Each structure stands twice: as C-alpha cells, then as structure tokens.
Amino acid sequence: MDALVIGGGPAGLMAAEELARAGRRTVICEAKPSVARKLLMAGKSGLNITKDEPAASFLARYEEAADWLAPMLADFGPAEVQDWCRALGQPVFTGSSGRVFPEAMKASPLLRAWLARLTSLGVEIRTRWRWEGFGAGLCFRTPDGMVELAPRVTVLALGGASWSRLGSDGAWAPWLAARGIVIAPFRPANMGFRVTWSAHMARHFGSPVKGVALLAGDRRERGEFVISARGLEGGGIYAIARLLREGAPLALDLLPDLTVDEVRARLARGRAGESLANRLRKLGLAPAAVALVQEFARPLPPIEVLAARLKELPVPLDGPRPLDEAISTAGGITRESLTDSLELRALPGVFACGEMLDWEAPTGGYLLTACLATGRHAGRAAAFFNGPGVRAPEPPPSGSAG
C-alpha cells in the first residue's frame, strides 16, 4: 500500500486530498459505517465552518498552542476555508457574530461534494475498518476479519476522546504511548457543566438565556446558554469552559448593557407592593433569567444590593460533564513528540493531525478550521515522504486545497 489515512473526519479527508493531489495512491480506513459522522452531527443546527475575524484574535483562541498552529493557520486559515467551500460549490455567508456558514447551512451538501472530489482523485474509502494497534504493521478489524497493512506512509486522524458513538474514543492513545510517544491526558473541552437545581427550575429546562455576559476569572464573554436538567450548556459556556474546568468560578451579568447604578434606579421605580419577579421582568429579563435570580440570589437582598447581584450573579457548578459528552477534548499527542511536519518522531513515516494533537479551542469555527489546517499540513508533508530522512522537494504553500 502506498498512502494510508486512518480516520475519515475532516482532518483525515483533508490529508487524503493532499496525498491524492500529489499523486499518492490513497486509502482511507474508517471504523464507522460512514465518514465524517461528527461533522454531520455538528452541522445539524448549522455548520459553523470558521470565524471571520482579524488573524491575531483568531489565533489567540488557541492559547498556548497558538505559536505551534500559527504556520498551518496562516497557510489555511479562515479566508482559505471559505475559498475551499466555494470551490466545492458551497457558497458561504458571515453572520453578525463573524461566524461563517455554508448558505445551505447543513454539513451534508458540503460533505457530498467533498467525497465526490476525493473519488475523482482516486481516493478509496474503506468503512468498518477499525484500527486495533500495531503488529508487524498496522492491524485492522474488518468485516472480513483481521487485516494487517504496511503502507509506505500513514496519516493518523483518529480524533480525540469524546463522542465515542461517532468514532472518537481515544483508544489509540495507549498504542502510541507504548511506542514512546508522549500523550497529554485527555480532558473535556467545550462541554456543559453540572448544576444541582431546586425543583422549581424544572419548568425552565430547555430554555435559552440570551443577551448576557458570562464571567470566569478575568474573562468576560458575551453569549448565550441553555438551562438543562443536568446543568448549563451552550456556546457561552463553551467559550469559557477551559477556565471553568480549571476552577474559575462562574458568574453572570444578566444586564450587560446597563451599569449597576442604572439597574438600581430602574428597580427603584417599581410600585409599592409590586413583586420582585415583576420588577425583574420590567428590566427585560426573560422568565428563565428571572428564575436564575430566584435560584441563586436567595434570600433576596435589598434592591441596593440586588442591583449588584444582577450584574454578577454567582452560579455554583458541580464540575464538567463527562469526557464522552464533550464536543471536543484537550490533551493528545504532545508537540514535542512531533516534527514541524507533524511526523511522529518515534515512528518515521507516520503523521498525525486534527484533534489527536494536544491543542484546544472553543466552538465558533476554531475547531473545524484547525482540523482542516492540520490535516492539510500533515497530508502535504506525508505526500512528499519517501523514507526516513528522504523527501522529494515540496511545492510552495498554496492558498487553498483546490
């Protein structure tokens, strides 16, 4: 076998495309019955493919991994992702928040066009081929039994350790660790947090809370979230999930466009004998937000104190949701275990990309962009690998894949 990609998510598909474009006979092995299942799930409510914002602020979202990912994202960042979508016949638009979506919104039209392109490039996809570790070569459990492959070059794109039902279960970690590759422990990222609710909150389960600011440590993030039976989840929570996971307390500014003095003055305008719930509603708080005040501000303080509480309402958390329920994971193959080409130092000719690598980012287009960029980077490097220490000249970086 010439070139093998293990894993059929966005990073693996992008790596396969680069290999095939370079003339390598490329096979993708995917454990599930179909590829890109996590992408399709993420796209059910609208596929956020990237974020249109200045390069510096975009890169900052990757925190300590920013300098590592910077060359890859410079070569294939938000602008290139959008061009790539358009080249697949999927026009895009940018929402008011800067998030970029295909006009079709769903992931399925984009995926169909992408798979058609891969087919035209000669890429073969084998589904229900699950990698089971190393023997003399790479061992797979297939519908026809165990098969061992010895490709000339391999790209690993197996995802992290969340959403195992969609294919990412982290089973690969001990196999690589046994080969001397350092794996940072997996931790949930972009996950909900548990909250112990009183009985009166049950009627608000499933309700969104919009137009608020979430405070964690020194971070202030405008966003929204959903109250669920298990706690809090949604984009606003995910944006600060790392800080919350690391122990920062959560507080809510329920009226982020008003000062404390303005809130205090508006509360004081209420009629004598008017219930506090009515006063809160007149401030513009939705029923779910009023319920949060009643849940976490009891016993209700005097109006002078309540105004400050509405600007910084503490929300006690009981910890993050389990790893398998997280949208993504932190941890994975450490930077030190990889060359700049994303080749595993301990396994020449084997490259890795996507969520297998030890980086994390919030939702909002950052996750998918980095998966595509690292998949492309690993695929291009693997395409020009001709044996340990032997590489054909690489072409100059191009702005987009196709």
Mean pLDDT of 271-296: 89
Judged by DSSP in three states, 138 sits in: strand
| 190-208 mean pLDDT | 97
**Residue 388 pLDDT class (50, 70, 90 cuts):** low
Q: Please name the residue that has the structure tokens 């009226």.
A: 255
* Mean residue pLDDT across the chain: 93
pLDDT at 398: 42
Q: Is the pLDDT of residue 390 over 50?
A: no
Query: For domain 3-187+321-383, is the CATH number 3.50.50.60?
Result: yes
For the ranges 156-170, 247-261, 265-279, 350-364, which has the lowest average pLDDT?
265-279
| Alpha helices (H) in 269-390, listed in sequence order | 276-282, 287-296, 303-311, 366-383
Residue 343 CA, distance from chain mean position: 23
Identify which of 219, 166, 127 has the alpha carbon closest to the alpha carbon of residue 328: 166
Q: How far is it, in rounded angstroms, from Cα 107 to Cα 101? A: 10
Whether the predicted model's global pTM rises above the 0.75 cut: yes
Per-residue pLDDT, averaged over 364-393, amounts to 86
Sequence-separated (6 or more) residues with CB below 8 Å from residue 340? 71
Q: Which amino acid is at 141?
A: R
Q: What average pLDDT does the segment 227-248 reach? A: 96
Position 254 pLDDT exceeds 90? yes
Confidence of residue 395 (pLDDT cuts 50, 70, 90): very low
Model confidence at 389, in pLDDT bands (50, 70, 90)?
A: low
Domain locations in the chain as residue ranges: 3-187+321-383, 193-315
Q: Which residue has the tokens 């092995």?
A: 29
pLDDT at 393 over 90: no
pLDDT at 285 over 70: yes
Q: Which amino acid is at 302?
A: P
Mean pLDDT of 99-113: 96
